[in-house]
Homo-oligomer: A and B are copies of this chain.
């Protein structure tokens, strides 16, 4: 061992002891006949003291050591004259009696301090240096902590961690697969799993009863910001359960994590139907840390002289409490916000309630005081409130108002990172329409069971069929999603049929699962959590990249190791493939 203690553990109780520390030189401060080195490791920082009067040789040696060099120092623990309350070892320092450089450092390409001068690209290229920054290190340690909390909870609840294969079969329904050419089976390919979905269902059919895995998954998608080609999932499945059994178990899991990480008790998690979430929040992952729920005005305002309302499919607004003092300019900015091409609204209507309770509005030409008073009632608007209203096609208008709501909440500081407001969204539709390809897609995945009471309309009105599917939403992010699965061959075939699979396609891709249903399949269901995102939210962030030890950039590259890269002709030949670049 190169140390007797870590840099985070010495206290006044150790004063007088001879100790050895090893670590990185965080910084050195030189004064006349004195020098101090802050020695850093994973556990903390300890001050090393060098005094010309005590040992001039060691002092001069210390002055030759660069930042970020790794050194080993022997010495005596002494009480500091000037205590530093900011760090846990701040009451002591080490009077160094011997010092040795274990690995000397060149000047790093960016400053390894909390406020680094390193840009994203540089930090990613030298990720091993970035990891030395306390905040980055702590993100990885938080991830480790949560991983262990999840495992402990699930094991105590009877779940078994079963590893499923990474080299599986390509089933190009859904997102694109990453594939792996097989050398032994020439011309054939494995795929990397987008999730262990079918395997966990087979485990249920095999009688494993309760399964979980914290598992890497892969999707070859065009990367939007903050998506990674490989990501980690907490993947779970249970047999002989109904939807509420699953919600209870995983409500318990989230409470356990929040309690252990933040010492916060959260109450029971509310449930909201998908239909309500869309109507009240304009999206299926509402942030319920704050209100500003949608109020629909169609009945109240149709038939006035205002053509925008009369022509709109939906008129809907929110009450932005206490914001009646928004200036003309601020309202113009909001109007530009909704008129951006991404949202595409034609304008924004506002109503303010002044300190006397008198409403005014951008459309007062069309709506008189008595009418605006009715709006106030609908929105529960009081003195000082600002009401914002959008009108237009239903889906588009809801989306725009949802974004406006989130934008304002951010601006008003309502999205408090250390407040946790989870929500179950239930009763998702089974299918969604892919208008481009004129076909139905599974909203969750093809193994999700329809609600039995909706089965009667599955042919006449498939879009209206609800599924036994649910999402766990936290602070406006979907952190988990799952469903009760189909466990009958006939219904599964029906589902593939609805999704446009021919019988032979269904059999080729998923025949093993449908066959398995014929040998005694228990009713089962499960859930999967996006682990990267869960950890980021627990850390008070929404960006996942820093919570991944070695993330890839938006071009799916690892810029540190320079991957992907070319491989040799010999490798290609072994794999019976050749490169064929498109023009």
A166 to B: closest C-beta gap in Å:
5
One of A169-177, A337-345, A369-377 contacting the partner: A169-177
Let me know if A512 is at the binding interface, CB within 8 A.
yes
A396 to B: closest C-beta gap in Å:
31
Let me know if A164 is at the binding interface, CB within 8 A.
yes
- Assuming the contacts A167-B552, A582-B576, asked whether A41 and B242 have C-beta atoms less than 8 A apart, the reply is no
A141 to B: closest C-beta gap in Å:
6
Alpha-carbon distance between A127 and B201 when the two chains are bound, in angstroms: 12
Let me know if A147 is at the binding interface, CB within 8 A.
yes
- Assuming the contacts A144-B162, A517-B103, A562-B169, asked whether A240 and B128 have C-beta atoms less than 8 A apart, the reply is no
Q: Interface extent on A, as a size class? A: 35 or more
A565 and B144 within 8 A (CB): no
A87 to B: closest C-beta gap in Å:
16
Q: Which residue of B lies closest to A245 (CB)?
A: B1
| A residues 202-224 in Cβ contact with B at 8 Å | 202-203, 205-210, 216, 218, 220, 222-223
Residues in B with CB closer than 8 Å to A581 are: 186-187, 576
Stoichiometry, copies per complex: 2
**Residue with the greatest number of chain B CB neighbours at <10 A, chosen from A126, A132, A202:** A202
B555 and A185 within 8 A (CB): yes
Residues in B with CB closer than 8 Å to A562 are: 169, 512
A160 and B140 within 8 A (CB): yes
Q: Looking at the complex, which one of B41, B218, B521, B561 makes contact with A198 (CB distance below 8 Å)?
A: B561
Alpha-carbon distance between A119 and B230 when the two chains are bound, in angstroms: 37
A180 and B192 within 8 A (CB): yes
Per CB-CB distance, the 10 closest pairs between chain A and chain B, nearest first, are A131-B206, A105-B520, A169-B563, A188-B564, A2-B240, A42-B209, A182-B564, A144-B160, A128-B206, A128-B202
- Chain A contacts to B: CB under 8 angstroms: 1-3, 6, 22, 24-25, 40-43, 68-70, 102-106, 108, 126-132, 137, 140-141, 143-144, 147-148, 151, 155, 160-170, 172, 176-192, 198-199, 202-203, 205-210, 216, 218, 220, 222-223, 229-230, 232, 240-242, 245, 487-488, 512, 516-523, 548-550, 552, 555-558, 560-568, 571, 573-582
Q: Could you list some 22 contacts between A and B, CB below 8 A?
A: A1-B245, A3-B240, A24-B520, A42-B210, A102-B522, A103-B517, A106-B518, A127-B202, A127-B206, A128-B206, A140-B208, A148-B161, A165-B550, A166-B216, A167-B218, A180-B192, A182-B556, A184-B222, A184-B555, A185-B557, A189-B566, A202-B560
